[in-house]
Structure 1
Amino acid sequence: MTNAPVPTTPAKPVVQDVDPGFEVGHLDRFLKQALLDLQGNMQLERIGGGQSNPTFFVSYDNRSVVLRKQPRGANLLPSAHAIDREYRIINALAKSAVPVPKTLLYCEDTSIIGTPFYLMERLNGRVFPKYALSELPKEERRAIYLAMAETMAQLHQVDWASVGLAGFGRPGEYFSRQISRWTRQWQMSRTSDNEDINRLIDWLPKHIPEGDETSINHGDFRLGNLMFHPTEPRVIAVLDWELSTLGHPLADVAYSCLAWHMRPNEFDGIRGLNLVELGIPTLDDYLDHYLAHSGRRQGIAIFHLVFSMFRFAVILEGIAARARAGIASSDNAAEVGAQSIAFARRAVELIQRQSK
């Protein structure tokens, strides 16, 4: 008597936290055809607390990659979540000294998971979401901040035309165009009126500094968007490029400085903390380090900080609007969106302090 084989049901992909309409079976079949060498059952895990393009680890027995996709929903703001631009700039910077993950493929076919997406290699490293760096010894914290400044200087030194980004944005008049853009975004996404925002919309166009220049602008250059070596205070990847464009380098610089101006309960800032005791450089030390490595002479002015706070306040308001519409890409989107008020208030306080 022979034993007949027992019929088995193919294992289903293991899934954690995906949006409705995300057809994981379609993704599994697509990836096994596109990447060829994948073995075993797919595991899909959502990662990060970001408010932007949802990000997942996609793991098989022999390989793990990272997937980034547009959020679901039809009410996305114009130019928001441009996943194709993100893929393009990461590819372009692979030719430069700026550390970025290796891209694997881009897919615009929305029948697979409901939105366009791309894949990139999964790196082994550390990401620090909070500026106080409480998980690190004191002696390493300063080096982490200085590495952030050095990496930003590397980015701003890239010849954007030579790496294929000549059409990635419009050179010149960056601040004027951005003020108009974020004013429109505010009008489209605001969930309530805000007199501080109204004042900033009036003040900013009248105070744009002289001197114009163009570099690659990350658009969200902060500690939490950098991946560091597992044991060394060295950046191995700059992440989250969805807001990148050609712009003024001081916009990135000012944005990266916001942590020094915000309190711990305001997007995890470090204002009011004992920086000497923590081993974190002062804002002046951080800026001096950037200037030394970028070859620049001009530092940021009050305008650049006010602009960055205004812009971020509008971004946070957009998150609040998506939360109300039920299409936010993170569970705490409503809470984060409420902090829009704090950034607008701090920007107005900077203006008031300057005018005294």
Structure 2
Amino acid sequence: MKPAHDAPAPAGIRPAEVTDWLAARVPALAPPLAFTPVVGGHSNLTYVVTDAAGTRWVLRRPPLGHVLATAHDMGREHRILAALGGGRTPVPVPRVVGLSPDDAVNGAPFYVMDFVDGFVLRDAAAATRDLDPAARRRAGEQLADTLAAIHAVDVDEVGLGDLGRREDYIARQLRRWHRQWDATRVDGIPEIDEVHARLSASIPPQQGAAIVHGDFRLDNCILGPDGTVRAVLDWELCTLGDPLADVGMTLVYWVEQGEDSALLPSDGTAAEGFPDRAAFCARYAEATGRDLSGIAWYAAFAYWRLACILAGVLDRYTAGAMGDQAGDGGASRFTHDGLAGLAARARTVLDEGKFAA
């Protein structure tokens, strides 16, 4: 279905101004443009931009309402993509077209990148429909290889050495997300404060410093029909720090067949053919040489952090900051009970010292 070029622009887009801005950077642009919100994310707003010739790009901008001072930095995302792309690293990312760093054009900073065609697998049904079992296995292996490639980037060589402090990552994350929890606190979930205290008292030694994507999982990647990762998306939480934090977050989202995925927004890895979490960890460990024997701690941290992040997401939904992209129903998963469930899983993993889905 072709986009309706005469349809009203969605919230968060000034079509005339964005068209002029993009035309100055894409000489072959064929106005008018259609802007289609991408449903499924829970933070920055994403739109597919299509011109009259059918060429597509992707525009990213912050939520519509008030956001944390250090969050939703479009310049930071643009910088990361530009540094990793263009053949400078083996990490697959879309090519960036340009950055509008202030509010002058569209009422908020934004950047535009090339559209990468492929599959985004948000659930097991999509994974089963779009990839055969062999491609699903390759996709799982590719996720481990791609995460290893991200963590192998020489940040100084690509100009990202000052992206963030390299050491003490977990302690800083614990402070940051607990501050957000205090700002968007949901009553009746004492486990979040309890788990925060336990995590803060038991931080493992950091195994080196690397780029940390911050939200690496199956549905933040675009896949080809053979399961190859064509692009890694959603770099808004990226910084430098402890690479095992990425592994822990990926494991939390790595739902295996027969497991309950009600607390998570996606369960694509539950489709037949995907390797299990143990195989993912083994492949990553072989590629990087890192010791994953304490990875359960990082999974507990990831559950806790996700609860804090989603408390902020709920706050933005309530305030209307997600505009036309609030219709994915994702917020309904993260009610009081949902946040409490994530915190409870974090506590269980800490209690048992092993990953529990």
Report the TM-score when normalising by structure 1: 0.88
- One of 252, 261, 264 as aligned partner of 1:264: 261
Shift, 1:280, TM fit: 2.5
Shift, 1:139, TM fit: 3.0
Structural mapping, 1:1-356, within 5 Å? 13-15=5-7, 18-19=10-11, 22-62=13-53, 63-73=55-65, 75-94=66-85, 95-130=88-123, 133-135=127-129, 136-229=131-224, 231-260=225-254, 263-268=260-265, 278-328=272-322, 329-331=325-327, 332-338=329-335, 339-354=338-353
Q: Contact 2:140–2:275 at 8 Å: present in 1 too? A: yes
- CA change 1:25–1:269 in 2 (3 A) is closer
CA distance in 1, matches of 2:183, 2:13: 27
Aligned partner letter, 1:162: E
Shift, 1:16, TM fit: 6.1
CA distance in 2, matches of 1:15, 1:170: 45
- CA change 1:27–1:174 in 2 (3 A) is same
Q: Contact 2:263–2:333 at 8 Å: present in 1 too? A: no
- CA change 1:333–1:283 in 2 (3 A) is closer
- CA change 1:122–1:269 in 2 (3 A) is closer
Count of aligned pairs between the two proteins = 338
Shift, 1:188, TM fit: 0.8
**Residue 227 of structure 1: SS of its match in structure 2?**
strand
- RMSD across aligned C-alpha pairs, in angstroms? 2.3
Q: What residue ranges of structure 1 are gaps of 5+ in the alignment? A: 1-11
Q: Contact 1:54–1:69 at 8 Å: present in 2 too? A: yes
Q: Which has the higher contact order (CA 8 A, sep 6+)?
A: 2
CA distance in 2, matches of 1:268, 1:88: 28
Q: Contact 2:253–2:267 at 8 Å: present in 1 too? A: yes
Point out the structure with max Rg over C-alpha.
Answer: 1
**Residue 34 of structure 1: SS of its match in structure 2?**
coil
Shift, 1:72, TM fit: 1.0
Give deviations 1:132-190, integer Å, cap 9, x for gaps. 72323333222211111110011101111110001100010111111111111110112
Shift, 1:268, TM fit: 5.0
Shift, 1:212, TM fit: 4.1
